[in-house]
Structure 1
Amino acid sequence: MGAAEVTRAIRRRAVSVGFAALLLVLAVATRSLLGPSPALRETVGTGLDRVVVGHDLLSFLTAVLFAPDPAALVVAIVAIVVVMGSAELLLGHRRTLLVAVASSVLGIAIGIGLQAAGILVRGVWTQAPLDTIVLDPLIPVAGTAMAASAFAGPLWRRRIRVLGATGLIVVLLYSGSPSDADRLAAGAVGLVLGELLARRLPRFRWRRSSHHEVRSLLSAVVGVTAAGPVVAILSRSGYGPLRPLGLLFRDSLPGAGFLADPCDRIPDRVVCSQHILLAHANGPGVAVMPVLVLAALLAAAWGMWHGRRASAVLAIALDAVIAGLTAFFFGVLPALRDPASLLSTAVGTAPTLQTALAALVPAAVAVVVAINIRHFDVAPRRRTALLIGAAALVALLAGATAYVATAALLPGEFRPRGSAARALADLPERYVPIGFLHERHLGLVPIGQPAHLVHDWIGALLWAVVLVGALVLRFDLADTSVADGRRLRALLRTGAGGSISYMATWTSNRTWFSPDGRHAVAHREVGGIALALGEPVGPAEGREEAARGFAVDCDDRGLTPVFYAASPAFVRRLSDQRRWASVTVGEDTVVDVRTFAMTGKRWQDVRTSINRAHRNGVSTFWTTWEGCSAAQRAQITSISEDWVADRGLPELGFTLGGLDELQDPDVALMLALDEQGRVLAATSWLPTWRDGELVGWTLDFMRRSADTMNGLMEFVIATVLQLAQERGLEWVSLSASPLSIPEEQADDGALERLLGVLARVLEPAYGFSSLAAFKNKFQPALAPIVLAYPDSLALPATGVALTRAYLPHLTPRAALRLVSAFR
């Protein structure tokens, strides 16, 4: 980046860079680079005592101009330049300055008000000293970031608000210092100010998200909440209501140095003895266990990001376990020991509200993920799930056996003297972090080395297995191992069973291989129906025989085989030995690029669109997802999210790909770019091979910005047709429009009626008929595609299976809309 670019970037972020520079200049001028002096803190800081008693309202502004320590200064400068700077690009200079000042003043005022109200009701989270001084430059950063969300597109608006609010709330709940409350209040103020500055009433309507975006947000929420205990661990003097949950993961036991002469430091002999025993229990295995628990939850969040259902289930289980442990060790046990402590507000106790919040937050995360489990449709192989479960069970049983046996055979290795009964009673605590042990009477404490080995490491062993299992689930796919995936892709290069054959590689499909390994059938099992996608993949010779083998295998497993989007000729050949009926479900639109030319009156609209695009400076870019820049990927994602949000029904699946399917390295993208390089539209093209040679492309993903010129998609597709002709391809399929059944081919059967109803319900949102009319502009050859079935009794189940295949994430509300269409 040259000097001119740096200067331009600084000018665009003038308020943010100026604020960061002011922060640094004041730190140097006041000699507070290593932290403000006590006198300076008293002068510029704010807080409940300073405002209520000292009436120092100017401190609302001066408190955000200084950082409490060097690390906070560095973090603040980076956050101001990066976060506030990005917000300034959306808000502009004047609005950024206005929001920064207003959110600081109002945020601190609201935060102080909340602390005062909490003190009046004796809330534990407000028990910070009344004279606590707040110095926090991140307060205006929170306000401007949340305000900028109102000026961002739907995708980033949702991301900023969900992740920003989650982060601010988690820090407050786990740390609970007055500055955390001020930051959250500033964020709320910024959110309202942003809506007002965008000239709309504050109305925070949730817009529909794609499956990809829901997974991303939920995994981020799980990851952020998993990092919450780290906040409590690092914040040694926090007052957050979830601090007990953080302490559950904290190894807060006394060290050997502290207890070198314990009776000088701890006069109470009983307490002294207990602390000595705690120090003996503080081994390396005990210390590493909290890290393994949190790492397993973060690994589950990583798997959720990639759509792994097993990772979502693991996250639900881990959050449920954490909620249960918190309720038990900070609620049940203290109540059994001293019921009055539940109503106490002294620091260090576990009041009812505090304990409830500490248990309810991870429980709420588990419930939210469970409610949205349908968005995680990538299941693991059954064998992998069983192996992970077996490994965890073996680790649990082996560790328990070793611990009980050691206590029974070597009783002198423990204090008090070990026994099998005492070891069994103490066993559950070996699998949870040890930070809570000072809350109750100690169980067995290891003295000798064998006892230390089993006492310290059996819990760490189990959680290590859980962590490894979480990582394995991230990379494992349902019924399709890496080797099977390679086999399928190799077969696709030998011969495809239609223009949609490449969809067989999508992770939501299962794959059946013929006994000789020469053919494969991609399918989905829905409600007892094996819904095959197109025709078998592999050489043309023997394709029907492979289909019959697939049907036999389905019969053996109690499934009804159905071939969706097959050709009528394939069904006729398939019916030689077994009667297969069929119904038309759409038309494939195929352009023969070897003979096409955009001449004549019928191509007038396409030529007009091309000329308009050239006049407007629009260009095309042929690439892959990996070949796109980070900015281009973000713009494609934003365009797609806008498209999904405008639909009244969930995102479709089955033969319609989304963002996840763009990331395949064999899938090509054709982008439309304006003169500044901004992505205006994006399309994806699936390859089709024959005998190892690329012969065609199939259009799948097609999205454009709402504010682009008319005819943009015509320009993009025409460019692809020309490129295919230049590269010597045979054809380009504009894909079959699902459920667009030609009237002259429609019958009056039950399945046809169901498909017709489904098409009518989805038409307003997805426009299948208008899409078919759009494709006809390119003068394609129309080839009917059919659904072939062997048993008319299975037609109702087939119709339901097809509906669920296209709408796997159909919500009850959307299902109600679908059912109402039958009236």
Structure 2
Amino acid sequence: MARTGALLRQAPLTVALAVVALVVGVVTGSLWSPLAGRPLRADLAFGLPSLEQGRWWTPATGAVLALEPVQYLPILVGLLALGGFAEVRLGTGRYATALVASHLVGVLGTAGLLALARGHGYGYADGLARQTDAGMSAGFLGAAAAATATLRPPWRGRVRVLLAAYPLVSLAHVGALFDVEHTLAVLFGLALGPVLLGRRPHLAWRQLTRRDYRLLASGLFVLAAVEGLVTAVAPGGGPLFATLSVQQKHEELANADTLLGASIQAVLWLWLARSLYKGRRVAWRWAVALVGLAMLAQVAGLVYLAVRHLPGWPAGLYELLGNGIGLAALVVGRRAFRNPSRRRARRTAGSLLSPAHEDQRAAATELLQHEGTVNRLAWMTTWPENRWFTDQRSTGYVAYRVHAGVALGLCDPVAAREADREQLLGAFADTAHAAGLVPCLFTVTAETARHALAHGWHALQVAEEAVIDLPRLEFTGKAWQDVRTALNQAAKLGITFRVGPLSEQPRGLQLQVKAISSEWVEDKGLPEMGFTLGGVDEALDPQVRVGLAVDADSTVHGLTSWMPICAPGGGAPVGWTLDVMRRLPGGFRYSMEFLIASACMAFRGEGATTVSLSGAPLARAAPPGGAAETGGSDVAQEPGPDRNALDAFLDRLGQTLEPYYGFRSLQAFKTKFQPRFEPLYLVFPDEAALPRIGLVLSRAYLPDAGVRDLVTLARSGH
């Protein structure tokens, strides 16, 4: 409700127009009684007859009316949705200009066209010239088209295509008076938008990419499916199909354009559209064959009409042209449709969909130790749930997972040289696109974010990594009071610090560690998380070190696990990254402060230079009161509503999981150690994939969550 109220405050003119339309509907009775057949329609509705009879005020009075009560619903919903979008994007002043101008262009332009077209034996134009209309749909459609000038690619083009496709398809197949008005208003709005923003309108053309060809072919088949359904419901009403004879219309109704036949055809077209979007080779072959056969049949039909001197050739040419555009897109972009089926891809060596095996994991681990990388969390890329992408042109790999059509990469590409890391990013993206997957990388550093932005991707900060520089670490000053208290209390209670591989610890300590971890998971009421959060299984890695707080009775009060940091160039670890944190319920109160402080001192004594407290997932908290130093970044964050969808999702997911996993509390806890914070990013190529990326992230963090767990989360999030 708060968001709705804020949105309404940003669109006061839209809300006011909706209220005025309802009030006028009540006063005139048009809200429950049709205007058709009432004298009021002639006085208030706009159209060529009204203007010829001197009712110049009708474009204004008709804008706040509807001819039928049922039309109020789409008019008001469209006004609030499209008009609200336009007002928020343009501002109230420019929105009012676009709304009024588009409405007048739609209404007066249609009247002018009909005045020129009538009386020449074209029945369609003669029929519309006698009709009147009401409603402000042309105005808010044109205003929405103008507002698309404020959007960034690729959303600008996609929204414009949708806004233009609706009136054009409806005009071709329904052909009502308002369809002509809508078409003129949208075309005018597209040209007006840049002018309102102080730019000159221009048409730009660029070389189509493989993804563009897939979107184009898929969109054309979706459009064909919609057209088939529209034609079945309202056949032969548009300006092209009005040239058909009455007998031809009845034949089409009885044969090809029944709703059942159109529905079956729509299902087939939508299946082809989805498969073409994935770049499937088999779908491309089917699409080319079906469109080619349809065009042959249409050519034969046109020849038959010409030989028999029958009407209807404009409709035939329209359908032939549409199929011709679709076939041309398929043939010219044929290289974009080389992806095998998912089943075959799983059997193909080197495919992103092929299952990983233990040898690949061992090779990735060895490569990380030998090459190193810039991401301090990179040891997570060696965990067994990942798959590993390699490229022959560079030395290194990208760890990733596949779910819901997304190849979700983890951390920066692993390689010693920055050029190799950038090469791996591009190769991973190309391979994912070729496989019909959406590539993205999660928890990457500013370096990879810069590379992604240079390739036209988007970057969204998703976490902050807390980093401690060990050479200058001193537990002095008021800010370190809690840490000194933890060390002093541990000494009084006889609690000591032990560090080393968990597999080398005594059997009794190992069992206690597993028991503490199991009790921690059971206490949450939800399964243990994964992806960037390890558990006891990951802590058993011989290369991972575990810090234990153990008292004189050999009771484990808490544990931490530390993953090695392999700097570019390889060699011995230059530092350690915190992963698992568990405390014995009812145990030593300051276990975590004691364990982290003790680990820092032990690692510094061994020659390490860095400790990373990792980045709490789904939490971005600036250090309070300047208690910690915040690292800068030259990665430009992209403001605006276009990137807020995933941002809001991650924020809500973090809020929902906070009572169970305490990510944000953990982020606040880390400030006790006076770290510097460095941002971690999610990079992705296309904002249209944000909903799927959000789904994949939730599944990656909760891979074992069942329906009951999701219900628990939903209830906690209210």
- TM-score for the superposition, normalised by structure 1: 0.46
What is residue 44 of structure 1 aligned with on the other side?
A: 44
Is the counterpart of residue 229 in structure 1 residue 2 in structure 2? no
Is the counterpart of residue 289 in structure 1 residue 261 in structure 2? yes
- How far apart are the structure 2 equivalents of 1:247 and 1:366? 31
- How far apart are the structure 2 equivalents of 1:72 and 1:194? 28
Aligned pair partner of 1:480 in 322, 347, 354: 347
Is the counterpart of residue 334 in structure 1 residue 305 in structure 2? yes
Deviation at 1:11, TM superposition (A): 0.8
- How far apart are the structure 2 equivalents of 1:663 and 1:94? 43
- How far apart are the structure 1 equivalents of 2:15 and 2:250? 40
Give the conservation status (yes or no) of the 8 Å contact 1:64–1:135.
yes
Give the conservation status (yes or no) of the 8 Å contact 2:63–2:134.
yes
- In the alignment, structure 1 segments of 5+ residues that lack a partner are 255-277, 342-348, 381-474, 502-520, 523-532, 535-563, 566-584, 591-622, 637-650, 673-680, 685-699, 736-773, 775-823
| Paired amino acid for 1:703 | L
| Residues 413-472 of structure 1: per-residue CA shift (max 9 Å, x gap) | xxxxxxxxxxxxxxxxxxxxxxxxxxxxxxxxxxxxxxxxxxxxxxxxxxxxxxxxxxxx
| Paired amino acid for 2:304 | L
Deviation at 1:185, TM superposition (A): 0.6
| Residues 715-734 of structure 1: per-residue CA shift (max 9 Å, x gap) | 98998999999974456698
What is residue 206 of structure 1 aligned with on the other side?
A: 205
Give the conservation status (yes or no) of the 8 Å contact 2:228–2:262.
no
| Residues 328-357 of structure 1: per-residue CA shift (max 9 Å, x gap) | 44x3333343x1x3xxxxxxx41x434322
Give the conservation status (yes or no) of the 8 Å contact 1:167–1:224.
no
What is residue 495 of structure 1 aligned with on the other side?
A: 362
- How far apart are the structure 2 equivalents of 1:118 and 1:233? 28
- How far apart are the structure 2 equivalents of 1:720 and 1:167? 57
Is the counterpart of residue 12 in structure 1 residue 10 in structure 2? yes
- In the alignment, structure 2 segments of 5+ residues that lack a partner are 369-386, 410-423, 471-531, 534-543, 545-559, 570-633, 635-718
Spell out the pairing of 1:720-735 with structure 2 (5 A cutoff). 728-730=562-564
Deviation at 1:171, TM superposition (A): 1.7
What is residue 26 of structure 1 aligned with on the other side?
A: 24
Residues 194 and 326 of structure 1, relative CA distance in 2, 3 Å threshold: same
| Paired amino acid for 1:150 | A
Is the counterpart of residue 669 in structure 1 residue 442 in structure 2? yes
Give the conservation status (yes or no) of the 8 Å contact 1:170–1:225.
no
What is residue 290 of structure 2 aligned with on the other side?
A: 318
- How far apart are the structure 1 equivalents of 2:469 and 2:42? 72
Spell out the pairing of 1:233-632 with structure 2 (5 A cutoff). 233-235=232-234, 238-241=237-240, 288-329=260-301, 331-337=302-308, 339=309, 341=310, 349-350=311-312, 352-380=313-341, 477-478=344-345, 480=347, 488-491=355-358, 494-496=361-363, 534=390, 565=392
Give the conservation status (yes or no) of the 8 Å contact 2:432–2:439.
no
Deviation at 1:80, TM superposition (A): 1.5
SS at match of 2:443: strand
SS at match of 1:702: helix
Residues 179 and 666 of structure 1, relative CA distance in 2, 3 Å threshold: closer
Deviation at 1:145, TM superposition (A): 1.4
- How far apart are the structure 2 equivalents of 1:362 and 1:288? 22
Deviation at 1:146, TM superposition (A): 1.0
- How far apart are the structure 2 equivalents of 1:25 and 1:108? 23
What is residue 69 of structure 1 aligned with on the other side?
A: 68
Deviation at 1:176, TM superposition (A): 2.0
- How far apart are the structure 1 equivalents of 2:54 and 2:431? 57
| Paired amino acid for 2:279 | G
Deviation at 1:104, TM superposition (A): 0.6
SS at match of 1:489: coil
What is residue 274 of structure 1 aligned with on the other side?
A: none
- Residues paired across the two proteins, number: 449
| Residues 188-215 of structure 1: per-residue CA shift (max 9 Å, x gap) | 1111110101111111213566544553
| Residues 637-684 of structure 1: per-residue CA shift (max 9 Å, x gap) | xxxxxxxxxxxxxx9964445885999899751279xxxxxxxx8969
What is residue 183 of structure 2 aligned with on the other side?
A: 184
- The percent of aligned pairs where both chains have the same amino acid is 20
Residues 94 and 290 of structure 1, relative CA distance in 2, 3 Å threshold: same
| Paired amino acid for 1:79 | G
Residues 375 and 18 of structure 1, relative CA distance in 2, 3 Å threshold: farther
What is residue 702 of structure 1 aligned with on the other side?
A: 452
| Residues 780-806 of structure 1: per-residue CA shift (max 9 Å, x gap) | xxxxxxxxxxxxxxxxxxxxxxxxxxx
- How far apart are the structure 1 equivalents of 2:140 and 2:221? 24
Residues 181 and 56 of structure 1, relative CA distance in 2, 3 Å threshold: same
SS at match of 1:38: coil
Residues 497 and 79 of structure 1, relative CA distance in 2, 3 Å threshold: same
Residues 176 and 102 of structure 1, relative CA distance in 2, 3 Å threshold: same
- How far apart are the structure 2 equivalents of 1:298 and 1:243? 28
Deviation at 1:150, TM superposition (A): 0.8
Give the conservation status (yes or no) of the 8 Å contact 1:134–1:179.
yes
Deviation at 1:587, TM superposition (A): 5.9
Deviation at 1:362, TM superposition (A): 2.4
Give the conservation status (yes or no) of the 8 Å contact 1:625–1:662.
no
| Paired amino acid for 1:362 | N
Give the conservation status (yes or no) of the 8 Å contact 2:352–2:432.
no
- TM-score for the superposition, normalised by structure 2: 0.52
SS at match of 1:19: helix
Residues 378 and 92 of structure 1, relative CA distance in 2, 3 Å threshold: same
| Residues 134-192 of structure 1: per-residue CA shift (max 9 Å, x gap) | 22432112201110111111221111222322232222122222211111110111111
Spell out the pairing of 1:167-182 with structure 2 (5 A cutoff). 167-182=166-181
- How far apart are the structure 1 equivalents of 2:457 and 2:267? 44
| Paired amino acid for 1:495 | A
| Residues 621-652 of structure 1: per-residue CA shift (max 9 Å, x gap) | xx999899x9xx9xx9xxxxxxxxxxxxxx99
Give the conservation status (yes or no) of the 8 Å contact 2:279–2:435.
no
| Paired amino acid for 1:374 | R
Residues 187 and 660 of structure 1, relative CA distance in 2, 3 Å threshold: same
Give the conservation status (yes or no) of the 8 Å contact 1:229–1:249.
no
- How far apart are the structure 1 equivalents of 2:104 and 2:239? 23
| Paired amino acid for 2:97 | L
- How far apart are the structure 2 equivalents of 1:246 and 1:15? 47
Give the conservation status (yes or no) of the 8 Å contact 2:173–2:236.
no
Deviation at 1:74, TM superposition (A): 1.1
- How far apart are the structure 1 equivalents of 2:163 and 2:252? 34
RMSD of aligned C-alpha atoms? 5.2
Residues 702 and 653 of structure 1, relative CA distance in 2, 3 Å threshold: closer
Spell out the pairing of 1:757-776 with structure 2 (5 A cutoff). none
Give the conservation status (yes or no) of the 8 Å contact 2:99–2:142.
yes
- How far apart are the structure 2 equivalents of 1:318 and 1:665? 28
Deviation at 1:306, TM superposition (A): 2.5
| Paired amino acid for 2:442 | L
Residues 480 and 5 of structure 1, relative CA distance in 2, 3 Å threshold: same
What is residue 443 of structure 1 aligned with on the other side?
A: none
Residues 145 and 206 of structure 1, relative CA distance in 2, 3 Å threshold: farther
Residues 199 and 243 of structure 1, relative CA distance in 2, 3 Å threshold: same
Residues 318 and 627 of structure 1, relative CA distance in 2, 3 Å threshold: closer
Residues 21 and 159 of structure 1, relative CA distance in 2, 3 Å threshold: same
Deviation at 1:50, TM superposition (A): 2.5
- How far apart are the structure 2 equivalents of 1:103 and 1:208? 32
- How far apart are the structure 2 equivalents of 1:358 and 1:190? 27
| Paired amino acid for 1:177 | A
